[in-house]
Each structure stands twice: as structure tokens, then as C-alpha cells.
Amino acid sequence: MGEIAEAFRTGGVWMYLILALDLTVYPGCAIGLLLAIFAKEGTQRKILLGFTILIGLGALLILGVGVMGYMIGLAEVEAALEKASPENQLRLREMGELYAMYPFKFGLGSSIIPAICTTLMFGRWFSTGSND
């Protein structure tokens, strides 16, 4: 468990932003899945479609923040390498790239659940009758 906490701290502000998005999107997943179970026709289906689109956009946003954290981390590594001695640059680049990957991995892992919810909700929306 300590390794996960250390990776979270190493990932920087991006990890906290991804966590905040998770805490926003995951309850929407639960609500959306409940809507998918009980949606019948008409207005309920339209609400289900709205929730489905929002959860899908939330999954993309979580992943996008992870990618942005990775890219900015790489830029910081390259800026730091300019000041490093040539014999240390390769080792420092490898470690920097490893640390820069933390936000990307966390964002990718966090976006899987909303993506699955979106898939299930779209499947339910398509199977509930006419597309209004």
C-alpha cells in the first residue's frame, strides 16, 4: 500500500485532479446504471442518454488529464536534463520518464470504469425500444 501512496505523491497535482474527477464521475456511473436498469420509454430514455454522454465525456476527461500530466512531466524532465551532467542524463531520463508515467497510468486505470458504464448504458439505451 505504501508503494501506491508514494506513486500518488510522485505523480503530483495531476493525481489529485484525476482523483477529484473520479469522485465526480463515479457517482454518476452508479446513477446512470440505475437509470439504465429502470428506464422504460420517453423521457426516462432521454435522461439515460444524457447521463450516458456525460459519463463518457467524464471518462475521456479523466484520461485526458492523465495524458496531460504525462506530457508536462516529460517536458519537466527534459528541462531538468539540460542542467544534468552528460554521464547522468540517460539514467535520469529513464527515471524521469518512469515518474512522468504515473499520472497517465492512474488516468487510464481510472477511466476504465466510466468507459464500461458508458458501454453498458448505451447498450441498454439501444435495447429499450425506438430511438426517439
Handedness of CA 75, 77, 78, 80 (dihedral sign): positive
* Residue 25 domain-assigned (yes or no): yes
Summarised one tens digit per residue, pLDDT across range 48-77 is 888 899 999 999 999 999 999 999 999 988
Whether the pLDDT of residue 41 is over 70: the answer is yes
* Residue 27 domain-assigned (yes or no): yes
* Residue 90 domain-assigned (yes or no): yes
Which pLDDT band holds residue 131 (cuts at 50, 70, 90)? low
Calculate the dihedral angle through the C-alpha atoms of 130, 126, 39, 129, rounding to the nearest 10 degrees: 20
The C-alpha atoms of residue 108 and residue 97 are separated, in whole angstroms, by: 16
In the chain, the number of structural domains is 1
* Residue 132 domain-assigned (yes or no): no
> Which residue range forms the structural domain that includes residue 43?
2-127
Grid coordinates representing 46 are: 432521454
* Residue 105 domain-assigned (yes or no): yes
* Residue 104 domain-assigned (yes or no): yes
The C-alpha atoms of residue 15 and residue 28 are separated, in whole angstroms, by: 20
Summarised one tens digit per residue, pLDDT across range 118-128 is 999 988 888 87
